[in-house]
Amino acid sequence: MHEEAGDLARARISFETAATLKPDWALPKESLAWLLIQQPQMNSVDARQSLALLQDLLKIYGAEVPLRVGELQACALAANGRYPEAIEMAGKVRGAFQRNGDQRGVARIDSQIAAFQAKQRWLPGK
């Protein structure tokens, strides 16, 4: 809602509030993690917070982690400079997209892997 309007600060507050009010609700945590790691001027505190949110998400989902969360995990690892782990996770997600016949997903993951191999984080549209 706020994120689409380009008001990232208000979106962040909304996601943080929702995640605090209902800690077992995954959607605001996913949204907040994506927002944190996709900021052009991301800082190390935001990068670390994205990984903490990922740990919460993995607990919430348990064994049924959606591919989008695996993709988010790869991007969060890269945002924290953990490129080998990011590449490994992205490869797992790519394989699942490939098995599902999702060529757009495969192409997106390929662009992420290329960024991670160049020791860069991935930003959509770059």
What residue segments make up the domains of the chain, in order of their start? 8-117
Q: Phi and psi (nearest 5°) for 8?
A: -65, -35
Structure tokens at 103: 């060529």
Identify the pLDDT of residue 1: 47
Say if CB 113 and CB 91 are below 8 A apart.
yes
Structure tokens at 17: 């509030």
Query: pTM, whole model, 2 decimals?
Result: 0.87
Identify the pLDDT of residue 42: 81
Structure tokens at 75: 């991007």
Identify the pLDDT of residue 126: 59
Q: Which residues of the chain have pLDDT under 50?
A: 1-3, 5
CATH number, domain 8-117? 1.25.40.10
